[in-house]
Amino acid sequence: MAFFILSLISLAAAVWVMQRTRHRRAAEGRRSRATRIFIGVPVGLAVLFMALSAVRVVPAGHVGVPVVFGRVGKRVGPGIHLVNPVTDMRNMSVRTEQYTMASTGLAAGAVADDSVDVLGRDGAAGRVNATLLYKLDRTSASTLYSEIGSDYMDKVIRPSARSCVRSAFAHFDMVEAATTSWASVDDDITECLKGKLEPSGIVVQDFQLRELDLDDQVQRAIDAKVAAQQAAERQQFELAKAEQQANIRRVEAHATADSQQILACGGEVKEEIRDGRAVNVVVPKPIDRCSQAQLTPQYLQFTYIQALKELVNSPNNSTIILPFDENLTPLLNVEGSSTPIATAPSTAPPSTTAPTTTAP
């Protein structure tokens, strides 16, 4: 447009010069060389400026929206374009832009507190710091300029973003929104922004819910909730650990019972599939094929020796005195049994005792 105006000025100057020199040429009867140069300069400048006024350059990362006397034309891409000299080319960025809602000093170039004050469903208040990443859809540039204008950030993006943030937090308790439902709040805000901005030709690339500032009372409630959740998780861990230990005890008890029955009744080899492989294991004979009691003297003697070995190897061993007979069978009577499993013979010396170990 500026070149077009200059070309008009140059043409006007050329016309003026021609009018001024008309009478002089008539009087002299010829046109001097100086006169021709004096007239040709403004004419040449007028032609040059007219040519330049028809050239428009759209920078990279932008689209151009041509406007001729208020009429919006079809958008053009980056590069050099020849247009009507009276065309006003509006360059609009299609790069990723950001709008930051943050307290003073948190955003680069922030001059005022632009964070969003929100209220939760429970009436608790907070202050949100967030960032919206967006860009203009190049195919909608002409429509957006025609309906909204080039200042769409202040007209559409800022009010829509702040409205969506407040609306999302109003559906959650503040403690819940700041802890377990943080991701849900972020997703709700993103969906709200897409619904408001994308019909206008503005693409929502990302919404980053960065920080939520709460008052001391709400913050204490959040800390208490987090502590309760951690305690519950610890209890779940302890419960799982106890169940695992109980399963171990069951397996050990089952193995002990099988070993007792094998010692009492004997065992037989049986093939089993374990981890996809066939292995041979010894299993006890069924109880109906066994006529002996499971707690035999042999088993009691074996258990007794194993217990003594553990006590000897213990760092806290002490003196232990247990009665036994000449076969190293503990002299124990099983309550409820009609006959003792092992009894001390009447001739056994009363001083017969187990080996003793003395702690150092």
pLDDT at 207: 93
Q: Mean pLDDT across the stretch 142-161?
A: 91
The phi, psi pair for 261, rounded to 5°, reads -70, -35
Which superfamily does 97-214 belong to?
Band 7 domain (3.30.479.30)
Among candidate residues 86, 92, 94, 93, the one with its CA nearest the CA of residue 67 = 86
Q: Mean pLDDT across the stretch 180-196?
A: 92
Helix, strand or coil, per DSSP, at residue 258 = helix
Highest mean pLDDT: which of 38-47, 229-238, 312-321, 339-348?
229-238
Higher pLDDT, 163 or 6: 163
Sequence-distant (≥ 6) Cβ neighbours of residue 42 within 8 angstroms: 10, 11, 13, 14, 17
Q: Answer for the pair 127, 118: CB distance below 8 angstroms, yes or no.
A: yes
> At 112, is the pLDDT very low, low, confident or very high (cuts 50, 70, 90)?
low
Give Cα 126 distance to the centre of its chain.
22
For the stretch 250-290, pLDDT in tens is 888 888 877 777 776 777 777 778 777 887 777 777 766 66
Is 325 a residue whose pLDDT tops 80?
Answer: no
For the stretch 12-40, pLDDT in tens is 655 555 555 655 555 554 555 555 555 55
> At 301, is the pLDDT very low, low, confident or very high (cuts 50, 70, 90)?
confident
Q: Mean pLDDT across the stretch 44-66?
A: 76
Domain coordinates in residue numbering, the chain: 2-91, 97-214, 234-294, 295-360
From its phi and psi, is residue 17 left (phi > 0), alpha (psi between -120 and 50) or beta? Answer: alpha
pLDDT at 176: 86
Q: Mean pLDDT across the stretch 210-234?
A: 81
